[in-house]
Structure 1
Amino acid sequence: MRDVAQRADVSAMTASRVLRDDPRVLPATRERVRAAAAALGYRPNEVARSLRLGRGTGLVGLVVTNLANPFYSRLALGVDSVVAGDGLKTVIGNTGQDLDAERELVADLIARRVDGIIAVPAAADQRHLAAAVAEGVPVVLASRPPEGFEADCVLVDDFGGARAATARLIERGHRRIGFLGPPPAVYTGTERLRGYTAALADRGLTADDRYVSLGQTDPDEATAAATALLALPDPPTALFCSNNRNTIGAFRAIRPLPPTGTAPALAGFDDFELADALGLPLTLVAYDSDELGRVAGRLLAERMRGRGPGGGPAPGGPVQRVVVATSLVEYGA
């Protein structure tokens, strides 16, 4: 700022007023200061300015587990569409489903003085998120509820959606239904497995451990897992996949098999682009992932406006838990 003022032959205070668009500065002076700033490549440090004025940094941290999954890009768009209305910018960090990486990322966001954090936790151990709340940083969880502390959260009806999709397969005559899902530590996968098991129990069927494969995080792993299930002596006649990555992998395993009629039926959680173009009957559990992000953004914005002591729930503002509904869609039927 001093360099800009010196080049424009004005005081540092006048240069500051020009760059704050103070209308009291004469037009000729404004032109000289702006020309000096442009010549020097000067950019205001908005973070430092906000902190000096007693405001936050204007940044919101979004912590996700797998940026390769399109679900998280839609979630991020939903979050950003809301917080941008409050003049906030979204900073996205990927943990790769690794708890240590998540701890480091949250600590880094706190050190950078973000105004709030929206997190998709990788595991049930959430002490680092509880610590963030204790330090005065509002936290909202998405896709997984808080463990060991109070925080707002937005969830998908994982249990109900999986139960409905599995029931649809049973209604079509299937009794041997395989399940493909992520590692057991993933809350959504656990809830969807619970819904799958409940649908079987509703019809007097027992889940067969041989048909349950957990741990797949990308389509290649899911293809291998589906291929292994379909190679069993009495293979499943249908597969339910607990996320889009597993559904895509399962499709690749089924595609080389004989034409529909003898090939296994396929159902999955999460709608995805080109699902209607696969040329295979496909039942998917759909929901608005953008809305999941929008709700998370609204919850965080509300908490930031009326944060209570330590960043926790504001006085008179109870913790909120919002569940986004699901529906079944059919492709290629």
Structure 2
Amino acid sequence: MPDARAPRSGPPTVRDVAERAGVSAMTVSRALRDDAKVSAATRERVRAAAAELGYRPNEMARSLRLGRGTGLVGLLVTNLANPFYSRLALGVDAALSPHGLKAVIANTGQDLDSERSLVEDLIARRVDGIIAVPAGSDQRHLAAAAAGGVPVVVASRPPSGFDADCVLVDDFGGARDATRDLLAQGHRSIGFLGSPPAVYTGAERLRGYAAALEEAGVRVDERLVRRGQQQTDEAAAAARELLALPRPPTALFCSNNRNTIGAFHALRATRSKAALAGFDDFELADALGMPLTLVAYDSDELGREAGRLLLGRLGDGAAQPPRRTLVPTSLVRYGAGDP
């Protein structure tokens, strides 16, 4: 019989644990599943042997053999460079982890073809469910996944062309409140910096901006609207364009944190005194040394709620009608380095 303590060239196996514990491989499998038919003393001996060898059971292979899921959930996001998505992922993980589920994060880069490919790959890997921040309104691949029995929850943007649970931020209300705040400060020429037109959140925030202006009797000036910026350098360039106009805006409203940070750089570079407001609170916003109004919400809670909705579909709520949750927003004001 080979020495169970001899060095190995690969990871330990069930047979290695069995030899160390002096039991059969079947007993090891049962002991690690806490099978009541295996005595407590034997279970303890098997666990000790597994710990000494550094053995970890292949949960995915075992689940597939038993016809169960893999314990994995696909999480599709559009821009991992945006801190919003890291908070969203932490919230999803907080909801799923206590139930033995793990999230696999995939970045689509706001590209529909990439998103389709990733969804196909996740389905092939037999994930238990998918939480997606869709790249656009064409969501036929997500609809196909749901129709094929893979629960789908949509976050940050609503489902399009199929019914699914979703969790949204009050994009319209938050943008309207921030623009109202600028109007209350006396501004009537307010520029807008936003994400591409196809992005639901950007479209809703533009709608909220326009609604606030209309309420105040101020016409939306298309010359002051810049859309399509996804990175801070693009936002800074767009802001500089607005600030270089013959009659520049006296305030800027930005539809997400990347645009707000880019606008801040432009204001600093041009020494502009324009007021700044934006959607999404972000770390160090209180240290910028300038008056700043931000639309805040709990992005972790957005992820937690998406996770809870998915857990409901995996549990007893599979036959329930689709649910929609709205995460509220509030305004946070920073000024001269003080929160």
Normalising by structure 1, report the TM-score: 0.91
* 5+ residue gaps, structure 2: 1-12
1:255 match: secondary structure: helix
Identity of aligned residues (%): 70
Which stretch has the larger CA shift, 69-78 or 2-11?
2-11
Q: Which of 51, 73, 77 matches 2:86?
A: 73
1:136 and 2:149 correspond: yes
Q: Distance in 1 between matches of 2:314 and 2:111?
A: 28
Q: How far is 1:48 from its partner?
A: 1.6
- Provide the C-alpha distance between the structure 1 equivalents of 2:50 and 2:141, rounded to a whole number of angstroms: 46
Aligned to 1:293: 303
Give CA deviations for 1:226-272 in whole Å, capped at 9, x if unaligned: 001100111111000000000000000001344xxx61000000001
**Structure 2 CA distance, aligned partners of 1:26 and 1:174?**
74
**Alpha-carbon deviation of 1:59?**
1.0
- C-alpha deviation, 1:303, in angstroms: 1.1
Alignment of 1:247-262 (within 5 A): 247-258=260-271
Partner amino acid, structure 1, of 2:313: R
Structure-2 change in CA distance of 1:78 and 1:6 (3 Å): closer
Matching residue within 194, 199, 204 for 2:217? 204
> How big is each residue's C-alpha offset from its partner over 1:21-54, in whole Å with a ceiling of 9 and x where there is no partner?
4462584796478548855x64321012122233
**1:89-128 map, 5 Å:** 89-128=102-141
Question: Which whole-Å deviations, capped at 9, do the CAs of 1:116-168 have from their partners, x for residues lacking one?
Answer: 11100010000000000011010010010011100010001101111111111
Separation (CA, whole Å) in 2 of partners of 1:20 and 1:230: 65
Check the 8 A contact 2:28/2:46 in 1, yes or no: no
CA contact (8 A) 1:119 1:142 kept: yes
Query: Which of these residues, 303, 324, 331, is aligned with residue 328 of structure 1?
Result: 331
Q: What is aligned with 1:231? A: 244
Q: Which runs of 5+ in 1 are unaligned?
A: 309-313
SS in 1 for 2:130: strand
Q: What is the CA–CA distance in structure 2 between the aligned matches of 1:12 and 1:205, rounded to whole Å?
A: 76
Matches of 1:36 and 1:175, distance apart in 2? 70
CA RMSD of aligned residues (A): 2.1
In structure 1, which of residues 277, 290, 305 is the aligned counterpart of residue 287 of structure 2? 277
The aligned length equals 322
Question: Hey, what's the Cα distance between the residues in 1 that align with 2:40 and 2:98?
Answer: 32
Partner of 1:311: none
Structure 2: distance between partners of 1:202 and 1:231: 28
229 and 32 in structure 1: CA distance in 2 versus 1, 3 angstrom threshold = closer
Q: For 1:145, which of 158, 182, 196 is the aligned residue?
A: 158
Q: Does 1:318 align with 2:321?
A: yes
1:83 paired with 2:96, answer yes
Q: Which residue of 1 aligns with 2:66?
A: 53
TM-score using structure 2 length: 0.89
Whole-angstrom CA distance in 2 between matches of 1:187 and 1:87: 32
Q: Distance in 2 between matches of 1:37 and 1:173?
A: 68
SS of 2:281's partner is coil
Q: Is the 8 A contact 1:4 1:15 kept in 2?
A: no
**Distance in 1 (alpha carbons) for counterparts of 2:300 and 2:285:** 18
How many Å separate the matches in 1 of 2:100 and 2:131?
16
* Worse-superposed segment, 47-56 or 323-332: 47-56
Cα 1:194–1:31 change in 2 (3 A) is same
Please list the CA deviations of residues 154-186 of structure 1 after superposition, one character each: whole Å capped at 9, or x if unmatched: 001101111111111111111111100111111
2:53 is the alignment partner of 1:43: no
Render the CA deviation track for 1:190-225: whole Å, top value 9, x for unaligned.
Answer: 000011111111111111111111111111111111
Could you tell me which residue of structure 1 aligns to residue 232 of structure 2? 219
